[in-house]
Structure 1
Amino acid sequence: MGKITGFLEYQRLHEATEAPASRLGHWREFVLRLDDGQAGQQAARCMDCGIPFCNNGCPVNNIIPDWNDLVYHQQWRQALDVLHSTNNFPEITGRICPAPCEAACTLNIDRMPVGIKSIEHAIIDKGWEQGWITPQPPSRKTGKKVAVIGSGPAGLACAQQLARAGHAVVVFEKSDRIGGLMRYGIPDFKLAKHLIDRRMAQLEAEGVEFRPSTYVGQSSDANRHGVGLAVITPEELRQQFDAIVLAGGSETPRNLPAPGRDLQGVHFAMDFLRQQNKIVAGDRLSKVISAKDKHVIVIGGGDTGSDCVGTSNRQGAKSITQFELMSRPPELENTELTWPYWPIKLRTSSSHEEGCERDWAINTVAFEGKNGKLQEIRIVRVDWQRDPTTGLMNMTPIEGTETTLPADLVLLAMGFVSPVQQVLDAFGVDRDNRGNARANTDDYRTTEDGIFAAGDMRRGQSLIVWAIREGRQCARAVDEFLMGESVLPR
């Protein structure tokens, strides 16, 4: 513990950000990391609790009190080693993780937790600046080959761990660039893509081979995901590799089958976000979904919806309104009831601060337009009541509240329901009742011998920290499968 009275002496310090009016003019990151002194002072607030609830609240089980103490004493190199011992990509989580560790922090009882995420951000950025992060190639090769399908956080974490264990690892990705949702789902103003490229270079130096623009499955399904893709079948993978890891994302978006859904101007959020990321990367697209000079409606109140708001603002939308089907959550949680668990409360993102109307308990009745083009959205307010018999929440439209709003662009950001089913079909793996690959967290094995599943492919839509955790644990399971034992951490 760095300073016994630190939590009494110092207040929580937030990272500085560029002003909204300024940052709307570009696509760069706008959050500035803490300097060494600020990070040390924030780390001094850590109480070194007898039970570190922050560790339990973090899905990758970051050893948070230890690196807090090291940062307080300005022992940055050691803090980086502790951080990397549980997390392959802290520069990613330090930027986009919602920080369940902070919700679990004992100081969050007073709603002033240690700024754990900001300290993590400071540690990893300093590590890169100082040149401390270098490739860690294996001292020996095992002669075993592993195919990892999907290059998101689960796939990349799994690939890195397996490569360091000495296996020859090939990562297959159907997109033209590596990174999965990190590359094409998260806007550049939240996550600069050079961070992914930098890690890719490290993984390649450690022996990982990347094959983008490659569809794994049957040739008949490949055209749905883009022209010009190379295709490799499950049969070919089985012949060429000793183990296969399914680590793709939960990519099937939840639809809204209201009347008028087929009108021009109603799109899934990921189609919108992916295009903008490609444009920022320098790609030239023939058809672009743009919010410029349009009345934009975002349906869905999560992170993807927030990203749509920030992107629409930067594109020059005329107005932006975000709807959520559920009731408005409380401004502040009752920490006596919720701590140390993740609370349901009103969350306002940096994108909301840049400009957006928000409303809750709104259901979409229909999309309306003329000549096949969207013009309005018809909505109604709803009331949520718990069924006394089943305990389930039931939604009832409130009479007299139906209305229409101008809408030139509607973005559906209501989450994802399952992985791409054709991939699971191609490998013949069993699925759970939500359409995910059936595998447990003991050995991550699917019902097909030699085939493993991790991340969103196994657990469904979730956080990046869960994806990294499952990728790491799956790597250990694969290593044990191939070698009979493993020294990789879980």
Structure 2
Amino acid sequence: MSDKMRLIPFEKMLTWIPKELETKGSIFGVRKDKFYYNETGKTITLFNEKLTSPIGPAAGPNSQLAQNIVCAYLTGSRFIELKTVQVIDGEDITVAKPCINAQDEGYNVEWSTELKVSEAFDEYVKAWFLLHVLMKELKFSGERDFMFNMSVGYNLSGIKSAKIDAYIEGMRDASSTKIWKECVQTLLFHMDMFSEFKKEDLDRISHTICKSITISTMHGCPASEIEGIATYFLKDKGLYTYIKMNPTLLGEKFVRETLNTMGYDYISLNGEHFTNDLQYLDGVSMLRRLKTLAKELNLEIGVKLTNTLPANINNNELPGEEMYMSGRALFPLSISLASKLAIEFDGDLQISYSGGADFFNLDKILSTGIRPITFATSILKPGGYYRITQMANKVEKYIDGEFSGINIKLLENLAKQALNDKHYRKELRIVKSRKLTSELPIYDCAIAPCSIGCPINQQIPQYVDLVGEKKYDEAFSVIAIDNALPAITATICNHKCQNKCTRLDYDESVSIRDLKKVAVLNAQDKFTADIKPADIKTNKKVVIIGAGPAGLSTALFLRRNGVDVTVRDKRESALGAVTYVIPEFRISSEMIKKDFEMIKSQGVKFEFSIDENFRLEKLKKDYDYVVLAIGAWKPGKNSLDDKGNKAINAISFLEKCKKENGNVSIGKNVCVIGGGDVAMDAVRVAKRVAGVEKVSIIYRRTKEYMPADKVEIELAISEGILLEELLSPISIKDGLLSCEKMKLGNMDNSGRRAPVGTGEMIMIDADTVIIATGEKIDSDLLRENDINLDAKNFPIVNESLETNISDVYVIGDLKKGPATIVKSIADAKTVAKDILIKEGLSSDFKLSNSFVDKKAIYSRKGILIDPKLDEDDAKRCLSCNSICELCVDVCPNRANLVVKVEGDFASTHQIIHLDGMCNECGNCGIFCPHKGKPYKDKITVFWSKEDFENSENKGFFIEDIKKGICLIRTEEGNIISHTIGQKTSISKEMSSIIKTYINNYEYIL
């Protein structure tokens, strides 16, 4: 495997494009239904050139190769900012790999093209011709509707070098260059391929590829150097010029405070950049002088806002010590700098904008008068180039001719609004990673991360799709396969499935829990009424001690599969903490009753008000299997120094409040210690208690690290509850809670920044302190029944949750302490399956059959939209279990390819990797839901024997296409020579992939 890209000859691209379009309906994987057509007839004018859209890729991964530029153009880009070139190039430039991490805010450790300057030039010329051909053939426009903008760096001496000067001169007039002549001759030879592109169109193609240039300088470049470069381009080269400016112009204090306000406090800045970079006043003075010069030369000078922001690498985001930040975290900084400069020049300043631009802000930026707008991080995310089509359609109404200045007031307001815009605040996506622990399969890799992320592996895409179709009965039937408590989990589940949803990399998760609730409210009662208890299929009996979520779930799964089940509980009714602790405003008794009635209808027997202190010896005489599900009800450790017995347990407090309808006495000032869901319940209940005036949450980290459901946190805050962050409680005495102030340190093993004590103390009014930091299990009761415990006094169980005593199981909170309801259901599934297997019975946890409208799913790719509050939100689901292809979406170079195959596969859609088009940027590995890396782990096609031999990837090289001779590295890593049609040791899957590639994708060979 090599990280060196193999450039595709112009003639090859020219034949590849029409063949793929004819046979696959796409060009470099971009489907034709995503091609952009501006049918308004409107254009913008930029440097005397007319464009049918004011947007395009920023200088970066999506504008490095000819195929990148073609994909960007097809989807609506008309301003193409070519990737930066510099005097150090090719093998002389060292780029650490992987070099891109666009998981949330973007980071990169590469600056300029990895190609030689001459190779980059060839790519841009090839793209120039291809866009002219496509413009005519696809009937995008009758006249050129796009422009290229070159980007060069990084100092004047390098820019004046023979290598870079030749590049610039070639871009100013390419007609005498070798690649220009090659492209012309190739087009003339293949002119019969075209129906719309004629020789006169070829003759009209301008020799001038770029009239404009963007200056890119390294951090620390002196103002005099930048001004010297700009002066050189204006006076000596006659180029319209943009100067890239850095967010460091805003000053370290502003940048740090803004990032902190937006929730990006973990981004580590290097203060030296703020000292050594161009200073704001120097930059303004320089621009004034350059504007005067440009006007004298009848040219224009502008700024490119902004360059990336340097940040320290502290958590192995990328290799090295420093990386460059981009994307949504940069937006409030870039737009603030734009506003500041626009005010400085009274709106008379050309700005090319590129700091965190995306679908949600493009129209707002353009409405201020700024144009063009370029983007990089947004199109490195799922949806990839398809995102551009949506953006291009959105901004059509802002295409309005000549630049007439910037509306200062609009821009100033936009800068202020950015600080509160959810799309750019960290809290919108606090999930560190969507990745699963699964290995990336070589074949059949499509997977629904939401289903795998759900502890009970619910068939989420299936029921979401059915809810969207308003087929509520069918949807509920799918839910009930795996979920014994659908009403409860549709109301108070912590919905970790949504932390794995692919839509997080677009906008926000699909509202999975809410969609489940739609099905519950519309179908559960009918489902329950239609239940007929299954016949008993075994003479073995099961007793479950504990009628909480874990116990009842086990009972349902066993009873519906023909097992006699009895549930016993010390309380007078079922569902434990859900019934007795969780407040009514969070889940109503009606929703709890729905689930209990469904379980009861299965034929489960119940015995309530039974002594909890069971004896296994006695139970084993009457029952064949015993399942212990008594929960964790013992109060957790109270480390608070309590001088006046003013600290109470949260569970006890909640239970008492629910039993007595809130008629308790806890004083005026209440503090709740903890950041979980129990803490949120406690503060909200305390707020409703008569006589309480102030309720505070005391948490040792900050809000974004609280484990509670984010909706519950926001609800608590909206009800007037105070969030006291970075405080560690020490003691309570005389109505005052003493706390140590904390600060956040480096990331710990939990993936959160660790709280570190500062030694500074603070006192908070507190008549009562409620401790919500976890309950304990009754280890003594287990020990008395001869159940082996580990060093932490938890029961020792095997993978089936069976204890050292045969046929005795421990599940739910009793297993490891307080957990979620859905994890209790997962335990129930595990135990039920084990008992059913022992009894020779099959379980009905079967995958549902559902038809997926692939056309509809593909149409959703690249479409960003805020979530809805009803079943229409189902239409945001991407059905990842049927169509994933994220690695294809996010590859700038189109090095990952979907091939349609037949044979021994679960899916007809398989992913192969094109080694020659890959530079190992690593972006596909970031977004693949598995823990693998597609560019290393998928079947790889090699274009040369040398590349095959230098790689360890499983895959093949076609040595002789006519004779069908291939060199193959098998799934086991063996290298063999194989001839198509002959029996060898290669797998049927590998054979099918090779045949498919040769027969149906020969244009890529």
TM-score over 0.5 for the pair? yes
Please point out which of 426, 438, 441 is paired with 2:796: 438
Deviation digits for residues 280-306 of structure 1 (CA, Å, limit 9, x no counterpart): 4xxxx9xx6434x52100000110010
1:245-284 paired onto structure 2 within 5 Å: 245-260=627-642, 263-280=644-661
Is the counterpart of residue 308 in structure 1 residue 648 in structure 2?
A: no
In the alignment, the residues of structure 1 paired with residue 561 and residue 718 of structure 2 have an alpha-carbon distance, to the nearest angstrom, of 45
Aligned pair in 2 of structure 1 residues 59, 360: CA closer, same or farther (>3 Å)?
A: same
Q: Does 1:410 align with 2:775?
A: no
Shift of 1:485: 4.4
Instruction: Identify unmatched segments of 5+ residues in structure 1.
Output: 10-48, 218-231, 332-341, 370-374
Check whether the contact 1:151–1:171 (CA below 8 A) recurs between aligned residues: yes
Deviation at 1:215, TM superposition (A): 2.6
Question: Which residue does the alignment assign to 2:778?
Answer: 420
The match for 2:813 is 456
Aligned to 2:611, what secondary structure does the other structure show? strand
Give, in whole Å, the separation in 2 of the partners of 1:70 and 1:345: 27
Range with bigger deviation, 103-112 or 247-256: 247-256
Written as runs of structure 1 = structure 2, the 5 A alignment for 1:58-77 is: 58-77=454-473
CA contact (8 A) 1:455 1:467 kept: yes
Q: How far apart, CA to CA, are the structure 1 residues paired with 2:621 and 2:820?
A: 33
Which structure shows the bigger proportion of residues in helix conformation?
2
Q: Given the superposition, is the C-alpha separation of residues 432 and 109 from structure 1 closer, same or farther in structure 2, using an over 3 Å criterion? A: farther
Match for 1:358 among 712, 723, 747?
723
- Measured after TM superposition, the shift of residue 348 of structure 1 is 2.5
Q: Report the alpha carbon displacement of residue 396 of structure 1 after superposing the two structures with TM.
A: 4.6
The alpha-carbon distance between structure 1 residues 149 and 212, as it changes in their structure 2 partners (threshold 3 A), is: same
Unaligned runs of 5+ in 2: 1-32, 35-382, 391-444, 847-1005
1:447 deviates by 0.6
Q: Provide Cα deviations, 1:345-383, integer angstroms capped at 9, x if missing partner.
A: 8973423321211122211121113xxxxx221112123
- 8 Å CA contact 2:488–2:595 kept in 1: the answer is no
The 4+ residue runs of structure 1 with deviation greater than 4 A are 129-133, 342-347, 391-396
Paired amino acid for 2:697: Q
Question: What is the aligned partner in structure 2 of residue 22 from structure 1?
Answer: none
Q: Superposition pairs for residues 101-120 of structure 1, below 5 Å?
A: 101-120=497-516
Tell me, what secondary structure is at the counterpart of 1:245? strand
**Inter-partner Cα distance in structure 2 for 1:330 and 1:396:** 14
Deviations 1:17-54 (A, max 9, x none): xxxxxxxxxxxxxxxxxxxxxxxxxxxxxxxx942111
Cα deviation, residue 202, structure 1: 3.4
The C-alpha deviation readout for 1:271-327, integer Å capped at 9, x for no partner, is: 0101122234xxxx9xx6434x52100000110010011111221321001111234
Answering whether residue 165 of structure 2 is matched by residue 165 of structure 1, we say no
- Please give the alpha-carbon distance, in whole angstroms, between the structure 1 residues aligned to 2:814 and 2:722: 34
Output the CA distance in 2 between the equivalents of 1:468 and 1:392: 28
* AA partner of residue 695 (structure 2): I
CA contact (8 A) 1:295 1:320 kept: yes
Aligned with 2:700 (options 286, 302, 325): 325
Asked if structure 1 preserves the Cα contact closer than 8 Å seen for 2:536 and 2:564, the reply is: no
| Secondary structure, counterpart of 2:641 in structure 1 | coil
Matched, 1:238 2:637: no
Equivalent AA in structure 2 for residue 421 of structure 1: S
3-state SS in 1 of match to 2:556: helix
Deviations 1:227-276 (A, max 9, x none): xxxxx432221211111001222333332233226x23310000010112
Give the whole-Å Cα distance in 2 for the aligned partners of 1:118 and 1:322.
Answer: 27
Partner of 1:447: helix, strand, or coil?
Answer: coil
Please state whether the residue corresponding to 1:329 is helix, strand or coil. Answer: helix
Match of 1:381 among 735, 741, 744: 741
Counterparts of 1:92 and 1:392, CA distance in 2: 29
Q: Relative to 1, partners in 2 of residues 1:149 and 1:378: Cα closer, same or farther, differing over 3 Å?
A: same
Contact 2:541/2:564 (CA < 8 Å) preserved in 1? Answer: yes
Larger radius of gyration: 2
Secondary structure of 2:542's match? strand
Is the 2:528–2:601 Cα contact (8 Å) retained in structure 1?
Answer: no
Aligned counterpart, 1:227:
none
Instruction: Report the alpha carbon displacement of residue 475 of structure 1 after superposing the two structures with TM.
Output: 1.2
**Counterpart amino acid of 1:329?**
E
**Match of 2:619, as an amino acid?**
L
Distance in 1 of aligned mates of 2:814 and 2:450: 26
- Residue by residue over 1:417-450, the C-alpha shift from the partner in whole angstroms, topping out at 9 and shown as x without a partner, is x421133123211123333221133x22111112
Q: Could you tell me how far apart the structure 2 residues matched to 1:419 and 1:187 are?
A: 22
Does 2:835 match 1:487? no
Q: Contact conserved, 2:558 with 2:565, CA < 8 A, in 1?
A: yes
- Give the TM-score, by structure 2 length: 0.38
Q: Report the alpha carbon displacement of residue 172 of structure 1 after superposing the two structures with TM.
A: 1.8
1:42-57 paired onto structure 2 within 5 Å: 50-57=446-453
Is the 1:330–1:346 contact (alpha carbons within 8 Å) kept by the matching residues of 2? no
Q: d(CA) in 2 for partners of 1:175 and 1:344? A: 28
How far the C-alpha of 1:127 sits from its partner, in A, is 0.8
Distance 2:703 2:464 in 1: 35
1:185 is displaced (CA, Å) by: 2.4
Report whether the alignment pairs 1:290 with 2:665.
yes
Amino acid of the residue matched to residue 610 of structure 2? T
Specify which of 383, 386, 398 is matched with residue 758 of structure 2.
Answer: 398
Q: Give the distance between the partners of 1:462 and 1:111, measured in 2 at CA.
A: 29
The 2-side partners of 1:67 and 1:328 are apart by: 33
More displaced 10-residue stretch of structure 1: 267-276 or 144-153 = 144-153
Alignment of 1:118-197 (within 5 A): 118-128=514-524, 130=526, 133-197=529-593
* CA contact 2:573–2:608 (8 Å) conserved in 1: yes
* 1:306–1:349 contact (8 Å) kept in structure 2: no
Shift, 1:140, TM fit: 3.1
With CA pairs under 8 Å and 6+ residues apart, which has the higher RCO, 1 or 2?
1
Deviation of 1:124 after TM superposition, in Å, equals: 0.9
Amino acid at match of 1:383: K
Cα distance in 1 for residues equivalent to 2:620 and 2:525: 41
Change (3 A) 1:181 1:344: closer
What is the CA RMSD across the aligned residues, in angstroms? 3.1
Contact 1:247 1:456 in 2 (8 A): yes
Shift of 1:121: 0.5
Distance 2:747 2:550 in 1: 38
Shift of 1:128: 3.1
Aligned to 2:475: 79
Q: 8 Å contact 1:157–1:471 — kept in the other structure?
A: yes
Deviation at 1:132, TM superposition (A): 5.8
Aligned equivalent of 1:466: 823
How far apart in 1 are the matches of 2:538 and 2:490?
33
> 3-state SS of the aligned residue for 1:244?
strand
Q: Paired residue for 1:99?
A: 495
**Per-residue deviation, 1:384:** 4.6
How far apart are the structure 2 equivalents of 1:88 and 1:95? 14
Change (3 A) 1:451 1:59: same
Please give the per-residue CA displacement for 1:75-105, whole angstroms capped at 9, x wherever unaligned. Answer: 2211111111111111111111121111211
Matched residue SS, 1:215? coil
What secondary structure does 1:80 align onto? helix
Cα distance change, pair 76–329 in 1 and its aligned pair in 2 (3 A): closer
